[in-house]
Amino acid sequence: MEKDGATVVISHHINEGKHQEYENWLNEIGPTARNSVGYIDWQIIRPIPGLSYLYTVIIRFDTIDNLKRWMNSAERKRLIEKVRPILKKDDNYYIKTGLDFLFSPENDKVKVPARWKQFLATWSAIYPLSTIVPLIVIPLLRTLKIPAIRFIDSLFISCVIVALMVYLVMPYYTRWIKKWLYK
Please report the pLDDT score of residue 117 as a whole number: 86
Please report the pLDDT score of residue 101 as a whole number: 55
DSSP the chain: -TTS-EEEEEEEEBPTT-HHHHHHHHHHHHHHHHTSTTEEEEEEEPPPTTT--EEEEEEEESSHHHHHHHHT-HHHHHHHHHHGGGBSS--EEEEEETTGGGG--SSTTSPPPPHHHHHHHHHHHHHHHHHHHHHHHHHHHHHTT----HHHHHHHHHHHHHHHIIIIIHHHHHHHTHHHHT-
| Tens-digit pLDDT profile for residues 118-161 | 889 889 999 999 999 999 999 999 999 999 999 999 999 998 99
User: What is the pLDDT of the chain when averaged over all its residues?
Assistant: 85
What are 56's strand-pairing partners?
Answer: 11, 45
For residue 127, give every residue at least 6 positions away whose Cβ sits within 8 Å of its Cβ, in sequence order, or none.
Answer: none
**Residue of higher predicted confidence among 105 and 4:** 4
Whether the pLDDT of residue 67 is over 70: the answer is yes
Confidence grade of residue 103 (pLDDT, cut at 50, 70, 90): low
| Tens-digit pLDDT profile for residues 77-88 | 999 999 999 998
Share of the chain above pLDDT 90, in %: 42
Please report the pLDDT score of residue 4 as a whole number: 60
Please report the pLDDT score of residue 1 as a whole number: 40
Please report the pLDDT score of residue 99 as a whole number: 57
